[in-house]
Chains A and B, each alone.
Chain A
Amino acid sequence: MFSFTKFLKLGAIALLALSWCAQAARPPAPQRIDIKQLSKKVEDVVVPLPNEVFGALNKLGSVNWKEYVRSSKGSNFTERPRIALLLGTVIADGFIAVQAEDAPAVKEIGQRVQTLARGIGVERSITQHAKAITEAADKRNWENVRQELDRTQNSVQQAMNEVHDEKLSQLVSLGGWLRGTQVLTAVVTKHFSDQGAELLHQPDLLVYFQTRLQAMPEFNLDIVREIQTALGQVKPLIDVGIARISPEAVKKINEITTRLDYGIVTRE
């Protein structure tokens, strides 16, 4: 009798497990698909946040992030595309300050983001995030700061999209990507490794930005033209297929992105 009850219990457990598996298991996916067939149904990329690449970089060895922290107030601009580019760069600076666990820099950057957002009329969308960044930095809760920086960028871009300023929203992403790439190449140049250089293998992202910039003829600014030319110079350096990205290429990309970063943050 005892063994029958035990048998029943075991049976019930097995049945439950089976029903869970039936619900959660999935039919096998094809091992290979023809990507070209899907070409008309491909959605745009979501531009990775700088901390996504910084996280991968961290796993390759310790990085002295303090070296790359920048919290200076910088120039003020009136041209909206310039503000958008700078805003993306400053948010990326926020992620660097988080990597360095530099609370005063994070708080300053939070303020700066708010000022820039005011400059393009989207301040309201991020006020609560700016406050949350300061509070989390005070508590040294870096996970929350990271999340609030992501929310800040997302809210700014959503507010821009709502008023059909999608192009400005794309410039915010571009500014962040350029600053992230500048720091990535600086770190890899200093301690070169093939794995570090491989993180630059982002050809589709580059094409995405190139296409977006081509569709912005109304932003007739030197810096926008400079970025467009520079992306053309960077592309052959990172679009190397299965070959390795050389130390020279990494250094060259660092020079290009440093020049662009200077152009974005300074008034000249």
Chain B
Amino acid sequence: MRTFLSYLNRGSLAIALLVVMARASFASVDDAQSFALQAAEPYVKEGFQVREDYWGGDLGSGEKKAVRQQLFKGNEYWFWMGTEVERARISVHIYDSDGKLAEQSDGWEKGHFAAAHIIPKSTGSYFIIVAVEESPEERTHWALVYGFR
């Protein structure tokens, strides 16, 4: 009986480990997108229309990626970034086509969420720079959504 119980315990431990591993391996850009949308939620109440389309991928610690986006003068935009890796630190910033910082000062970073705000001074292409600043994972999924009003 005792052997059986210990077998059962080991079995449950193995199952628990498997579940954790499966969770880690099945975590995806879609999970990151859910977090990005979570960050966007409060802004919807302020009249921002959040686009269904989004960018996503994975980055190593300290890696950056640029996203090119057409923005229109007259609109106001927020870009929200998220990752499912809770202990990761991520950032997002907005630059104009000359590489000059173009964002408002009220952007924020909070753990696995980050956001940047812009009221474009001119219509044209802008670069949204996303980065995984720190992460316990080798590769960290990220997703970026945006909204406008």
Contacts and interface: CB of A to CB of B under 8 A. Distances in A.
B75 A56 contact: yes
B102 to A, nearest CB: 10
Contacts of B123: 56, 198-202
Interface residues of B, number: 42
Interface in A31-48: 31-35, 38, 41-48
B85 interface: no
B74 A42 contact: no
Give the interface residue-count category, chain A: 35 or more
B108 interface: yes
Given A26-B108, A31-B100, A42 B53 contact: no
SS of B interface (majority) = strand
A205 interface: yes
Contacts of A230: none
Interface stretch (B1-9, B11-19, B60-68): B60-68
A29 interface: yes
Contacts of A31: 100-101
Contacts of A203: 124-125
B51 interface: yes
Interface string A8-40: 000000000000000111100111111100100
A126 to B, nearest CB: 12
Contact of A46 (B51, B100, B114, B125): B51
Contacts of B103: 29
B55 interface: yes
Contact of B53 (A29, A143, A154, A198): A154
B108 A25 contact: yes
A223 interface: no
Interface in B59-89: 64-70, 72-75
A146 B49 contact: yes
B51 A45 contact: no
Contact of A38 (B53, B64, B114): B64
Q: Which of A34, A35, A53 has its CB near the most chain B CB atoms (within 10 A)?
A: A35
B99 interface: yes
Interface in A194-211: 195, 198-205
Contacts of A57: 74
A70 interface: no
Contacts of A199: 72-74, 123
Nearest to B108: A24
A107 B26 CA distance: 40
B32 to A, nearest CB: 14
A24 to B, nearest CB: 5
Given A24-B110, A151-B52, A199-B123, A35 B72 contact: no
A36 to B, nearest CB: 8
Given A55-B148, A154-B52, A48 B72 contact: yes
A268 interface: no
A43 B92 CA distance: 14
Contacts of B140: none
A35 B65 CA distance: 11
Contacts of A154: 52-53
27 contacts: A23-B111, A24-B109, A25-B108, A26-B91, A26-B107, A32-B99, A33-B95, A33-B101, A33-B127, A34-B99, A35-B66, A35-B98, A38-B64, A41-B64, A42-B66, A43-B55, A43-B68, A46-B54, A48-B72, A55-B74, A147-B49, A150-B51, A151-B52, A153-B52, A195-B74, A199-B73, A205-B70
Interface of B: 49, 51-55, 57, 64-70, 72-75, 91, 93, 95, 97-101, 103, 107-111, 114, 122-125, 127, 129, 146, 148-149
